Amino acid sequence: MIRPLIGITAGHILGESSRERRQSVSVGCGRSYVTEVVRAGGLAVLLPPVAEREAVRAAVEAVDALLLTGGGDIASLEFGAEPHPNVKLIDSVRDRMEIEAVHVAVKREMPILGICHGIQILNVALGGDLVQDIPTQIKGAIRHWSSDLLPCLSHTINVEARSLLASLIGAGKVAVNSRHHQAVGKLGKRLRVVAEAPDGVIEAIQADNGRPVLGVQFHPEEAAGEYPRFRPIFDWLVAQARRYRRLKRRL
């Protein structure tokens, strides 16, 4: 069986060359995204951060689903706001690449999964904005950042019954891992909230028209090995990509 192509967005990674002791720049994503896509039956294709819009469009049109990965903060000017003092690790080329990728994928009715930074860029691309710093902007916020060495389920979310996410990991109270200080604010167009943390922070969104679009604020790719209940999220993405591939080939 031919594996569907899952386009996984990559960001810039700063490092240091041990030979010349100078800063180096590479592109990539967390290995666990690739691991879960392959385990679910997909073929991972990295989409690098490039500034040329035509190159981004061509890359997205070549794959069967879009996976928006975790990463740093999103440039506030992308949603018409000035930056909060605690904003950091901005990769503006990546931001623009991912926004263009979302526009192409939505237009083509392609399956989309956004994770952490990915749910945020999905929301921004569709006209929404962000809470730029949860600890200082959300009164009574719980701890949304965990630096544990191993995957740790650190807080609960409430998943809406009969939502797409509920069909994958269950409805009601679900424990998740967490590593973010920004979150979805005002919702983008054609999206609805399907999970929240106890402090009201949005933890999952989906398309409001039944299209295969899902965003989660937690990191199922990191937790799936230890907690298999999160694997269906990637099974869903690959299954939707396979369906999209069949439909695309008929056109």
Alpha-carbon torsion (186, 191, 193, 195), positive or negative: negative
- In the structure, what pLDDT confidence band is assigned to residue 3 with cuts at 50, 70 and 90? very high
- What is the count of structural domains for the chain? 1
Write out the H or E segment, with its range, that includes residue 131. strand 130-131
- Per-residue pLDDT of 84-140, as tens digits, reads 999 998 999 999 999 999 999 999 999 999 999 999 999 999 999 999 999 999 999
Mapped to the 3 state alphabet, what secondary structure does 141-165 carry?
Answer: CCCCECCCCCCCCCEEEEECCCCHH
pLDDT score of 160 more than 90: yes
The CATH number given to whatever domain includes residue 106 is 3.40.50.880
Domain containing 110 equals 5-250
The 10s digit of each residue's pLDDT in 211-241 is 999 999 999 999 999 999 999 999 999 999 9
Q: Which amino acid is at 156?
A: T
Unique residue bearing structure tokens 């630096």: 147
Distance between the two ends of the chain, CA-based, in angstroms? 20
Contact between 65 and 22 under an 8 Å Cβ cutoff? The reply is no
Q: What is the pTM of this model?
A: 0.95
Q: What is the DSSP letter of 228?
A: G
In whole angstroms, what is the distance from residue 59 CA to residue 196 CA? 33
Look at 27-31, 68-72, 218-222 and tell me which has the smallest mean pLDDT.
27-31
Q: What is the distance between the alpha carbons of residues 112 and 133, in angstroms, rounded to a whole number?
A: 25
Check pLDDT > 80 for residue 15: no
Number of other CB atoms surrounding residue 232 within 10 Å? 18
